[in-house]
Homo-oligomer: A and B are copies of this chain.
């Protein structure tokens, strides 16, 4: 059908050609935002920026960043009407989960859906999705666009989809046995929960029908030991998957090389910005991901500050695709960074260590208050029998963290832990300073 690529011409574009395309699309996009959205017109004017200031691609740096708080305030005051750039052919709308504030709405025109389905099909194709394969789609539906994007894209490819939605780990496990899907799409946390359920049911990993899984909505598949654990427990290839509601649900994913997230630079301008200077960082350096919609019609985001940290590389991947990659995926969110004992670290650093221990459960949470930092983790009572074993395990985890991150934190092993959720994402860090 498409060989190894969904769209070979685009996925192997030379950077020079790509940048030409990006510049053309960017100019058009910025002009239509300025002309049709009073939100953007006011915002640009206030920053002293005008569409005709864009004379080359690098001039994108003249455009002010767009922050989530700004969008939220805009929506609270005026609703979405001022940032909708066109209402022509609107077919769907989605919303951020809104548990940290009012939901932010994202509208799709018919063309917006076409591009979103195309880019989602592309990411799934790169992982091995093919016509006739069965997908258990455990991404949520109902206002959350990743569920729908995957649903549409699987059908565009010619596959079968079970639209089960998020959560329901018991039912998920039963359907994995009953429906025998080739593909599981879920958050990494849910994948691990399903794996534990299947273990409890006494299912032999070797009997599972799953070939591969795309795991997103939360970092996890990019954390080496979490990926290894998912792969081992579900006997599949686990790929990292990325999207955010405001931009698009599922527009970056790994290929079979597992060499990091491939961005879709024909549809999105991808920048990595030093949060202190507001300037672009060099290749391979860490910074905040800033995204610009190049083709989205209804509610395009221009220089959207995602808050997610990543590094970017331009070297061609082993798979032959030329778009920029984030080799280690998303490294954390600026909001999630923990400062303790003078050292900055992310929950993902801790998670990578936790996954080394088979005695531990899926869930963990990091609580920080004025004086101390406590890591609470579930452990498996069947594998840790004595008090002595428990103490040894706790000490071992604490030492691995000190060795790896250079900090001494308190480790508490517990039977059962209730992790708070923000929408579909686990809230792993609870700061109370």
Chain A residues in the interface with B (C-beta under 8 A): 79-80, 90-94, 98, 102-103, 105, 140-143, 147-148, 155, 159-165, 171, 174, 178-179
Beta-carbon contact of A90 and B160 below 8 Å = yes
Chain B residues in 8 Å Cβ range of A98: 171
Beta-carbon contact of A163 and B141 below 8 Å = yes
Chain B residues in 8 Å Cβ range of A164: 142-143
Q: A163 to B178, alpha carbons, bound, how many Å?
A: 28
Q: A94 to B90, alpha carbons, bound, how many Å?
A: 27
Which chain B residue lies CB-closest to A87? B160
Chain B residues in 8 Å Cβ range of A148: 163
Q: A115 to B79, alpha carbons, bound, how many Å?
A: 37
Chain B residues in 8 Å Cβ range of A165: 141-143
Across the A-B interface, the 6 shortest Cβ-Cβ residue pairs: A142-B165, A141-B141, A90-B160, A141-B142, A93-B162, A79-B178
Q: A155 to B98, alpha carbons, bound, how many Å?
A: 26
Which chain B residue lies CB-closest to A75? B178
Chain B residues in 8 Å Cβ range of A90: 160
Beta-carbon contact of A92 and B178 below 8 Å = no
CB distance from A247 to the nearest CB of B (A): 18
Beta-carbon contact of B141 and A93 below 8 Å = no
CB distance from A218 to the nearest CB of B (A): 19
Beta-carbon contact of B79 and A161 below 8 Å = no
- Name 6 interchain pairs, CB-CB below 8 A, sorted by A: A90-B160, A93-B162, A140-B142, A141-B147, A141-B163, A148-B163
Q: A91 to B135, alpha carbons, bound, how many Å?
A: 10
Which chain B residue lies CB-closest to A161? B92
Q: A80 to B179, alpha carbons, bound, how many Å?
A: 9
Chain B residues in 8 Å Cβ range of A103: 171
CB distance from A18 to the nearest CB of B (A): 32
Chain B residues in 8 Å Cβ range of A140: 142
CB distance from A145 to the nearest CB of B (A): 9
The one of B91, B93, B161 in contact with A155, judged by C-beta atoms closer than 8 angstroms, is B91
Beta-carbon contact of A92 and B160 below 8 Å = yes
Beta-carbon contact of A163 and B92 below 8 Å = yes
Chain B residues in 8 Å Cβ range of A160: 90-93
Chain B residues in 8 Å Cβ range of A171: 98, 103
Q: A179 to B105, alpha carbons, bound, how many Å?
A: 10
Beta-carbon contact of B142 and A179 below 8 Å = no
Chain B residues in 8 Å Cβ range of A80: 178
Q: A197 to B178, alpha carbons, bound, how many Å?
A: 41
Chain B residues in 8 Å Cβ range of A105: 178-179
Chain B residues in 8 Å Cβ range of A155: 91-92
Q: A98 to B142, alpha carbons, bound, how many Å?
A: 20
CB distance from A152 to the nearest CB of B (A): 11
Chain B residues in 8 Å Cβ range of A93: 160, 162, 179
Q: A197 to B312, alpha carbons, bound, how many Å?
A: 48
Chain B residues in 8 Å Cβ range of A92: 155, 160-163
Q: A381 to B79, alpha carbons, bound, how many Å?
A: 34
Told that A91-B160, A143-B164 touch, could you supply 19 new A-B pairs with CB distance under 8 A?
A79-B178, A91-B159, A92-B160, A92-B161, A92-B162, A92-B163, A93-B160, A98-B171, A102-B174, A103-B171, A105-B179, A141-B141, A141-B142, A141-B163, A142-B142, A142-B165, A143-B162, A143-B163, A143-B165
Q: A155 to B140, alpha carbons, bound, how many Å?
A: 20
Q: A161 to B143, alpha carbons, bound, how many Å?
A: 10
Q: A155 to B94, alpha carbons, bound, how many Å?
A: 15
Q: A103 to B102, alpha carbons, bound, how many Å?
A: 35
Q: A141 to B80, alpha carbons, bound, how many Å?
A: 25
Which chain B residue lies CB-closest to A145? B163
Q: A178 to B187, alpha carbons, bound, how many Å?
A: 30
Q: A105 to B140, alpha carbons, bound, how many Å?
A: 19
Q: A90 to B105, alpha carbons, bound, how many Å?
A: 33
Q: A20 to B92, alpha carbons, bound, how many Å?
A: 40
**Which of A90, A91, A163 is most buried by chain B, counting CB atoms within 10 A of its CB?**
A163
Q: A92 to B154, alpha carbons, bound, how many Å?
A: 10
Q: A103 to B142, alpha carbons, bound, how many Å?
A: 21
